[in-house]
Structure 1
Amino acid sequence: MLLAILSDIHANLEALRAVLADARARGASRFLSLGDHIGFNGDPSACLDELMPLLHAAVQGNHEAAITHHGLFGVALYTRMITKSAAMLSNAQKQWLAALPLTTVHEGLRLMHAPHRGVRWGRVSNCEQAAGVFSLYPEKRLLNGHTHRPAVFSKNAEGIIEELSPTSPGADGDTLTLALDPQRRYLINPGSVGQPRDGDPRAAYLLFDTEADAVTFCRVPYDVEAAAAKIAAVGLPRSFAEALKRGESPTGD
């Protein structure tokens, strides 16, 4: 089975539609989401209209959690962003987001947005942080988002963890396939559909071939200018649009 793993869509309809078309063309039969469907971009409602009937499994991210905990970010700019995003959603969409679990298992894959404790959402950016996540769950294949950067952490039977680089594209320039070792555990981040932060503005997602036990990191070009224009049109900060064009974080982290 070929699963398309999406994360950090962040209300970017142009990126989402480009990714869905690419994944379908590559033969994906199911779509999963690792959270943060809203925020930063201008089309939260339209994105959820696409996603709600499509996804076979999804989890809640910190942006979804912030809808019901408005002070969650502790940053006034982000609190205003979430308030604006929530105002564009229907009651049914808000209820769907609020009902998403923090973590779930689908086809043996552990799905999460990020390690979560109380109102804190942790980043997984190094082997030490990955070790903490491996200790929480028994599954051999774990998937997370939140950092907006593709990443792979691998743990062997002796407990040694190493970080692998999924950023070098394959021969076609748009994909990179990794065969997973059945004796090792993996924590994999597909990168962000709607707001990449690795210096590449193309939308990022992951294909997981459950039969071959292999993953393919995919990058998809889309109309970034159109998405950026919508950010200004709905009254979100210009810095969000400029960061989107560069493939960077709007806050520099």
Structure 2
Amino acid sequence: MRIAVISDIHSNIHALEAVEKDIRENRIDKIFCLGDMINFGAYPREVLDWTRENCDIVIKGEHDAFVSNPDDVFLTNPYAIQAADWTYDRLSEKDFEYINSLNNFYEEPEFILTHDEPSIPGTYHFLTSLRDAKETFTCFDNRFCFYGHAHLQILFVKDKDNVFVEKSGKYRIKEDQQFLICAGSVGQPRDRDPRAGYVIVDTDENTIEFRRVKYDVEKAAADIINAGLPEVFSNILRMKKD
């Protein structure tokens, strides 16, 4: 089976449509979404419609929860709060019902899906360090744990008692290994690579592949400004490595 895992779309329909094209070209069997579908970008309803229609499993992120029920999540970033107010005004009752129907955690024997810290979902901890990964591996027995929130593509591998970060873009799975897989961000990458990011896991070929997809970044950035959303979210889209 070939599974595409997407996360942190943040209302960026331009990036999402590019990822959808790449997913179709890669003969994907299932699509999992790890949350933060909305906020920051100019197309929240379009993104929610897409996830409803195309994703097999969807997890709720903190920005989804905050837009729908602000009392459920504590946000301090004034730009995120401003964008959430804008987003709230553009959603329908059907959209809120959909968001409220989602959980922030999903588990099967082979894998876990969560938006953030898999050991205590809902803390919104950024799991990016090897030290944190070593501690988190002690909290689950499933082979794969997929998470988002960090807006980075990271692969932590546990091989017996050894835990390491795998740097290659495509990793061949070995027997008896466990994996913490941060899927990256479709709509707001934070690694100074403006391309949309997601991950493909092939359980037949035994591979984990991080994908990056080009899209019209300038159009997405301009739409954020034209919508009256905070400019910071437009600037993030344009960030590149020196």
What TM bracket, shorter-length normalisation? over 0.9
Distance 1:77 1:163, change over 3 A: same
Structure 1 gap ranges (5+): 167-175, 249-253
> How do 1:164-243 and structure 2 match up within 5 A?
164-166=166-168, 176-243=169-236
- Given that residues 145 and 191 in structure 1 are in contact (C-alpha distance below 8 angstroms), is that contact kept between their aligned partners in structure 2? yes
Distance 1:189 1:247, change over 3 A: farther
Identity, in percent, stands at 29
> How do 1:68-217 and structure 2 match up within 5 A?
68-70=69-71, 72-105=74-107, 108-115=110-117, 117=120, 120-158=123-161, 160-166=162-168, 176-217=169-210
- Given that residues 6 and 34 in structure 1 are in contact (C-alpha distance below 8 angstroms), is that contact kept between their aligned partners in structure 2? yes
Please state how far the C-alpha of 1:200 moved relative to its aligned partner.
0.6
Distance 1:107 1:89, change over 3 A: farther
**What is the count of residue pairs matched by the alignment?**
238
Q: How far apart in 1 are the matches of 2:19 and 2:113?
A: 19
Q: How far apart in 1 are the matches of 2:144 and 2:228?
A: 40
Q: Give 3-state SS (helix, strand or coil) of 1:121's partner.
A: coil
Q: How far apart in 1 are the matches of 2:153 and 2:51?
A: 22
Distance 1:15 1:134, change over 3 A: same
Runs of 4+ in 1 over 4 A off after TM superposition: 116-119
Q: How far apart in 2 are the matches of 1:85 and 1:107?
A: 36
- Given that residues 72 and 119 in structure 1 are in contact (C-alpha distance below 8 angstroms), is that contact kept between their aligned partners in structure 2? no
Aligned to 2:239: 246
Q: Give 3-state SS (helix, strand or coil) of 1:178's partner.
A: strand
- Given that residues 127 and 162 in structure 1 are in contact (C-alpha distance below 8 angstroms), is that contact kept between their aligned partners in structure 2? yes
TM-score, normalised with respect to structure 1: 0.88
Q: Which moved more, 1:89-98 or 1:197-206?
A: 89-98
Aligned to 2:39: 39
Q: How far apart in 2 are the matches of 1:64 and 1:130?
A: 25
Aligned to 1:11: 11
- Given that residues 150 and 189 in structure 1 are in contact (C-alpha distance below 8 angstroms), is that contact kept between their aligned partners in structure 2? yes
Q: Give 3-state SS (helix, strand or coil) of 2:35's partner.
A: coil
Distance 1:222 1:205, change over 3 A: same
Please state how far the C-alpha of 1:247 moved relative to its aligned partner.
5.2
Q: CA RMSD in A?
A: 1.8
Q: Which moved more, 1:51-60 or 1:116-125?
A: 116-125
Please state how far the C-alpha of 1:226 moved relative to its aligned partner.
0.8
Paired AA for residue 175 in structure 2 = P
Structure 2 gap ranges (5+): none
Q: How far apart in 2 are the matches of 1:150 and 1:119?
A: 20
Q: Which moved more, 1:113-122 or 1:6-15?
A: 113-122
Q: How far apart in 1 are the matches of 2:52 and 2:156?
A: 30
